[in-house]
Amino acid sequence: MNTRSILYGSPDSISNARNPQGTAPDPPTLAARVQGWRSDRELTQEELARQAGVDRSTIQRLESANWEVKFSTVSRIAHALGVSMVTLLDRPG
């Protein structure tokens, strides 16, 4: 996993947006991975949000791929999806 390409801003946040060099991140984005895992488990955004203990708008903004999210929030979402943080954040290739 190339953390340099997904981490920027505050030390406890990850981003779906552009990296500091202004180039688009390599696919799949965190947004696509969350949406894919959620779809695989046939969960609505509302159901995932409830299981993760976050607002539905948090899931909606995360899946929109243009929002910074705290590690603690990603951890809660990963737990609700039944996957590890490594699985959720890892970028193949």
The phi-psi region of residue 47 (left if phi > 0; otherwise alpha if psi is between -120 and 50; otherwise beta) is alpha
Domain ranges for the chain: 28-89
- Per the document, the length of the chain is 93
Q: What is the mean pLDDT of residues 4-9?
A: 33
**Is the pLDDT reported for residue 45 higher than 60?**
yes
73-84 pLDDT, tens digit each: 999 999 999 999
**What percent of the chain is predicted at pLDDT more than 90?**
47
The topology under which CATH files domain 28-89 is 434 Repressor (Amino-terminal Domain) (1.10.260)
Q: What is the pTM of this model?
A: 0.66
Q: How confident is the model at residue 9 (pLDDT cuts 50, 70, 90)?
A: very low
User: Between residues 90 and 60, which one has the greater pLDDT?
Assistant: 60
